[in-house]
């Protein structure tokens, strides 16, 4: 099973700042089959990025993903107030399909 | 507009059973694989089960194998999850989600979830 470790656990930032979230896999994720989701309190997750760097439909271009192998990142170029949420990575390269434990982005 | 609406959650005693439903609209349900994903209170996400567009292929997490059964009725645009031998560890919000494509196991649309509480 591929274990995904997200870091840091919590980030305190201000609107307008740039942030990079990390997702590290315990073994290589084939074909960069990695997705990122955003989840706000009381809401369902929302797909942001798939195949490591492809933005999902309707996702603003301030969100970008990169990486391959075991190291992946999600970057938000300029934080908007609505971006404060929990972010999860998920690998779909091999079964069982696993999520990271999440990174919480909170307002400073 | 894609919509997924879960129902059937509630409180159940340990060892009991429950059936969740997910009603889909806004897309050709019979063309998409579907997932159930759960989230225990204050915890992360876990893929519980998945079913191919025609019901021919299933996926179950080890944690639910032999206890949960996924099914679908394409004539009713509805996905189901039959849960039995429930334990406290099954307490979670259960989300229905659509698979992006048949070859890529991630979810592009999610319902709002239904809460299952297992407690005596």
Measured between beta carbons, the chain A residues lying within 8 angstroms of B101 are: none
Is the pLDDT assigned to residue A16 strictly greater than 90? Answer: yes
Q: Which two tokens stand for residue A23?
A: 């997702």
Measured between beta carbons, the chain B residues lying within 8 angstroms of A102 are: 44
Tell me what the pLDDT averaged over chain A comes to. 96
Nearest chain B residue to A49, by CA: B108
Q: Which two tokens stand for residue A79?
A: 């934080």
- Counting Cα atoms < 13 Å in the Cβ hemisphere of A80 gives 6
Q: What percent of chain A has pLDDT over 90?
A: 97
Is the pLDDT assigned to residue A88 strictly greater than 90? Answer: yes
Size of interface A-B (CB pairs under 8 A): 52
How do residues B33-47 score in pLDDT, each as one tens digit? 999 999 999 999 999
Q: What percent of chain A has pLDDT over 70?
A: 100
> CB distance A44–B112 less than 8 Å?
yes
> CB distance B44–A99 less than 8 Å?
yes
pLDDT band at residue A80 under the 50/70/90 scheme: very high
pLDDT on residue B103: 84
pLDDT band at residue A83 under the 50/70/90 scheme: very high
pLDDT on residue A46: 98
pLDDT on residue B87: 98
C-beta of residue B93 within 8 angstroms of C-beta of residue B113:
yes
What Cα–Cα distance (Å) separates residue B78 from each residue in A93, B23, B72?
A: 27, 5, 6
Residue found by looking up tokens 């694989």 in the block: B33
pLDDT on residue A31: 86
Other beta carbons less than 10 A from residue B30's beta carbon: 14
A70-87 average pLDDT score: 97
Beta strands in chain A (DSSP E): 4-7, 10-13, 19-29, 34-39, 46-50, 54-55, 63-76, 86-91, 98-99, 103-107
Which residues, given as ranges, of chain B have pLDDT below 50? none
Residues B13 and B4: their CA atoms lie apart, in Å, by 27
Residues B32 and B100: their CA atoms lie apart, in Å, by 8
Residue A96 at interface with chain B, using a CB cutoff of 8 Å: yes
A6-21 average pLDDT score: 96
Residue A45 at interface with chain B, using a CB cutoff of 8 Å: yes
Nearest chain B residue to A52, by CA: B106
């Amino acid at each position: 099973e591929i274990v995904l470790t997200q870091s840091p656990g919590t980030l305190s930032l201000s609107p307008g700042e740039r942030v990079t979230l990390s997702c590290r896999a315990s073994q290589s994720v084939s074909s960069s089959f990695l997705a990122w989701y955003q989840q706000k309190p009381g809401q369902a997750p929302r797909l942001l990025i798939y195949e490591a760097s492809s933005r999902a439909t309707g996702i603003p271009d301030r969100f970008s993903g990169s990486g391959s192998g075991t190291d992946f990142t999600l970057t938000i170029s300029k934080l908007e107030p609505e971006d404060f949420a929990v972010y999860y990575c998920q690998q779909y390269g091999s079964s069982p399909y696993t999520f990271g434990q999440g990174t919480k982005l909170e307002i400073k | 507009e894609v919509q997924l609406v879960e129902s059937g959650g509630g409180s159940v005693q340990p060892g009991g059973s429950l059936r969740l439903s997910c009603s889909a609209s806004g897309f050709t349900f019979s063309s998409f694989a579907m997932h159930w994903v759960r989230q225990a209170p204050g915890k992360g996400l876990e893929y519980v089960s998945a079913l191919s567009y025609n019901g021919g292929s299933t996926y179950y997490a080890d944690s639910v194998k032999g206890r949960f059964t996924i099914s679908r009725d394409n004539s009713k645009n509805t996905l189901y999850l039959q849960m039995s031998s429930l334990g406290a560890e099954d307490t979670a919000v259960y989300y229905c989600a659509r698979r992006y494509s048949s070859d890529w196991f991630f979810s592009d649309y999610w319902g709002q979830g239904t809460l299952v509480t297992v407690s005596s």
